[in-house]
Amino acid sequence: MEGLSRFSDYEIFAYVTVGAVALLVSDMAFGTHFIAGALWTVPDGAAILIGSYVLGQAIASPAAWILERQLVHRLLRAPSSTLFGEAKPGPIRRWLFRGYYAPLSAHLKTLVERKARANGASLHGEDLFWAAFVQAKRDAHAADRLGAFIRLYGFCRNLTFVAACATFIFIAELITDIRHGAAQAAASDELRGAVALAVCVAMLFRYLKFYRAYSVEVFATYAAGDGKAE
């Protein structure tokens, strides 16, 4: 555990833990013994720790590109748009992601826009978010809360990606086992695939919750203060 103290909280959440989960999926799908059934020596444990970190780093890039850039910013729209009612989702999307599309309270929205107008900032989208962020990050108390949200949504985003990959792997193995008449193996793959899918969906909604909460914190801090550290 001494090695873990050298990592930041974000690295432990978003990289080491997620990388270890990916190694566990490998154990379940391909019969490796990185985590499950492993008998580590001290060097083995150190190698697994470093390997989990590196694998977690590798996972973060595709996870951010697929979930953050494509799913959130292109399909669902960024919180900077949904919070101010600029995003216009269809009824199905609004029902499925009703928590994510919940707008800011009318009072807070008014305070943010009034502050932005007084500072000569844009009143729309990402321009408004970055104007608010520049000031909000100077607040020492808000910085701690923002850091907590980053750790949470980074972990949930990366774990969502791993769970999605695991779902596809177990489904592929299920199809293969059915074709070969391996009923017992197919039942195991079906259960694993169902669990992986459930984790994927659950972590996706947690990711969206914390990603939205991060922006809410930025705008609330921006509206409440002058952006200077207390």
For the chain, 230 residues long, give each residue's pLDDT as a single digit of tens.
Answer: 555 557 788 888 889 999 999 999 999 999 888 998 878 888 888 899 999 999 999 999 999 999 999 999 999 999 999 999 998 899 999 999 999 999 999 999 999 989 988 888 777 888 899 989 988 888 888 989 999 999 999 999 999 999 999 999 999 999 999 999 988 989 999 999 999 999 999 999 999 999 999 999 999 999 987 544 33
How many angstroms separate the CA atoms of 228 and 230, rounded? 6
Here the contacts of 111-119 (C-beta below 8 Å, separation 24 or greater) are 111/223, 111/224, 112/219, 112/222, 112/223, 115/222, 115/223
Q: Number of H helices and number of E strands within the chain?
A: 9, 0
pLDDT at site 229: 38
Look up residue 62 and give its amino acid. P
Q: Are 131 and 116 in contact (CB under 8 A)?
A: yes
3-class DSSP assignment, residue 33: coil
pLDDT at site 59: 97
pLDDT at site 137: 87
pLDDT at site 167: 98
How many angstroms separate the CA atoms of 5 and 7, rounded? 5
Q: Are 17 and 29 in contact (CB under 8 A)?
A: no
Q: Is the pTM of this model over 0.85?
A: yes
3-class DSSP assignment, residue 34: coil
pLDDT at site 162: 98
Q: Are 116 and 135 in contact (CB under 8 A)?
A: no
